[in-house]
Amino acid sequence: MSEDFPNSWRFLLGRARHALSRDEQRIVEDMIGPVERVSHDRVILRDGELADRSTYLIEGFMARTIERDGRRHIVSMHVPGDFIDLHAFALKRLDHTVVAIGPAKVGYVPHRKLEQIVADHPHLGRMLWFSTLLDAAIHREWILTMEHLPIEGRLAHLMAELWHRLSLVRLGDEDGFNLPLTQVEIADACGTTPIHLNRVVRSLREAGIMELSRGRVTILDRPRLEQAGKFDPSYLYGEGHLKLRDELSH
């Protein structure tokens, strides 16, 4: 698949993407362009800017961030295969900033192309809509996590989620995954300070649950990690009772 669809093949993996016909898969591949490599902290779209294109993540990681009281909060993480700001097609101006976390490779889809695709290929348009609704499901889970779990649980949930999402696009190893986030950025995502996060990382390491070192997350005991984060992957629509099979094939 990577040979036929070099930019979009991770998007086409799992989560009901099997419902796309070969022609629809080709349309997705052809709509991505131009392609650009960006450096760490590169802002792709700033809060309030007018958007005339949406961004697809080919390689690397990206985040959505919000500034409050002089502090940056990471409110969403994106992995390869994600359309990061597809909802900008409808909203035009976002209430958050999209930024690269580590070096990344992105492809841009002009909104004029999306408008034509939605008009000419309604089934494909529905599948793209599904992608934005999956983002919303992840946001709801993050809200619950931030509200109900202590810092240790938030970190465990985040790492369990990233492992599952990366595994869906063949980037999660059996014992962990590469992650270019600094502890400052992870603290921003968990709603804590780097000092407090460092204590939690040490606690999870000493408990034999996970290690975080030099851009690598090593999962030592996945069942205990998921238990600590009260993690149920169903909301990712990749497995469990929410997994889609043939429901979107027509």
At 70, is the pLDDT very low, low, confident or very high (cuts 50, 70, 90)? confident
Residues shown for the chain: 250
Percent of the chain with pLDDT over 70: 94
pLDDT digits (tens, 9 = 90+) for 157-211: 999 999 999 999 999 999 999 999 999 999 999 999 999 999 999 999 999 999 9
pLDDT band at 4 (very low <50, low <70, confident <90, very high): confident
Show the domains of the chain with their CATH numbers. Answer: 17-144 (2.60.120.10), 150-229 (1.10.10.10)
Strands 176-178 and 43-45, sheet pairing: unpaired
Euclidean distance between CA atoms 127 and 214, whole angstroms: 37
- Report pLDDT for 96: 95
Radius of gyration of the chain (CA): 18
Report pLDDT digits (tens) over 129-161: 888 998 999 999 999 998 899 999 999 999 999
Pick 229 or 20 by higher pLDDT: 229
Q: Rounded CA gap, 152 and 225, in Å?
A: 10
Res 162: pLDDT: 97
What pLDDT is attached to residue 244? Answer: 65
State how far the Cα of 190 lies from the Cα of 135, in Å rounded to an integer. 18
Whether pLDDT at 68 is above 60: yes
Whether residue 34 has a cis bond before it, omega within 30° of 0: yes
Query: What is the distance between the alpha carbons of residues 181 and 189, in angstroms, rounded to a whole number?
Result: 10
Residue among 139, 143, 165 at smallest CA distance from 154: 143
Q: Tell me the pLDDT band of 240, cut-offs 50, 70 and 90.
A: confident
pLDDT at 3: 80
d(CA 77, CA 100): 10
User: Any alpha helices (H) in 61-121, and if so which ranges?
Assistant: 88-91, 111-120
- Taking alpha carbons only, the member of 29, 89, 79, 65 closest to residue 236 is 79
Cα distances (angstroms) measured from residue 199 to each of 149, 194, 195, 212: 16, 9, 7, 12
C-alpha angle with apex 174: 169 to 178, nearest 5 degrees?
65
Q: Is the pLDDT of residue 241 over 90?
A: no
pLDDT of residue 63: 96
Say what the pLDDT of residue 15 is. 64
The residues pairing with 109 across neighbouring beta strands, listed in sequence order, are 54
- Give the type of residue at 202: R
